[in-house]
Amino acid sequence: MTASGRSPATAGLFALTIAILTFIAGPALAQGERRGGTPGEFDFFVFALSWSPGFCEAGGGDEKGRDQCRTGAGLGFVVHGLWPQFQRGFPTQCQSASVNPTRMAMEAAREVFVEEGLARHQWRRHGTCSGLSPSDYFAAVRTARDKVVVPPELRDLSAPRTTTALELERAFVAANPGLRVDMMGVDCRGEVLQEVRVCMSRDLRSFVSCGEVDRRGCRARSITIPPPR
């Protein structure tokens, strides 16, 4: 008998059953994720700026961001995505997921994303829920990028910097009129900065309060911001 009280044969059958069910169900949903749904049905956007050195330090360059993480790339904040969001939870892979970006749309995407693969992934996972065409979605990403100003002290970082999530949020608030700390969140892995997420209205003209995004932010007592490679 195993420690669980099952015979080896029963335990093996149980494990196989779980594996089959997991395969059928597909990967687990992220917290708050609502897969499927109607394009255009959401409350506001979350614009995510990834801190490239933190992403690469966490192993991102091993699989997805080889060009982004190559030595000498010198990248700081880069666009991660523009995500339709509900007040609670967020939609993904909506009904227009079968619509593939045209060559012209991908040319627009290359102006804002560091990797073509990332742009395509963001369209499939998030852009399909925006109610926009691929071209219009990538244009919206560019609008969001142009609206959010990166604080001057983070544009030419040459050495590691230690700060807190609140101090980082306050730096963005100072650089962006109309932005408040309850309108954004900071994501970290351990104590290393991963990205900054800013909540914006559906028309991208203003910043909006987003309690859930704010609450899910980094809880580390301090954050290290590694410099660009």
Q: Which pLDDT tens digit goes with each residue over 18-65?
A: 333 333 333 456 678 989 889 999 999 999 999 999 999 887 655 555
- Tell me: pLDDT of 142 over 50: yes
User: 94 with 36: CB under 8 angstroms?
Assistant: yes
DSSP structure class, residue 102? P
pLDDT of 11: 43
**pTM (predicted TM-score):** 0.84
Q: What integer pLDDT is reported at residue 50 of this predicted model?
A: 96
User: What does the pLDDT read at residue 26?
Assistant: 39
Buried b (16+ CB within 10 A) or exposed e, 7-22: eeeeeeeeeeeeeeee
Q: Which residue has better confidence, 229 or 202?
A: 202
Q: Report the alpha-carbon distance of residue 198 to residue 172 in Å, rounded.
A: 9
Ordered by start, the domain boundaries in the chain are 33-225
Structure tokens at 65: 């961001």
CATH number of 33-225: 3.90.730.10
Phi first, then psi, for residue 153 (nearest 5°) are -70, -10
Q: Is the pLDDT of residue 68 over 90?
A: no
Model pLDDT, residue 96: 65
Mean pLDDT taken over the chain: 86
**Is residue 150 scored above 80 in pLDDT?**
yes
Task: Write the pLDDT tens digit of every residue in 80-113.
Answer: 999 999 999 999 999 766 789 999 999 999 999 9
CA distances from 131 to 3, 40, 89, 99, 126 (A): 52, 4, 17, 12, 10
pLDDT cut 90: percent of the chain above it? 72
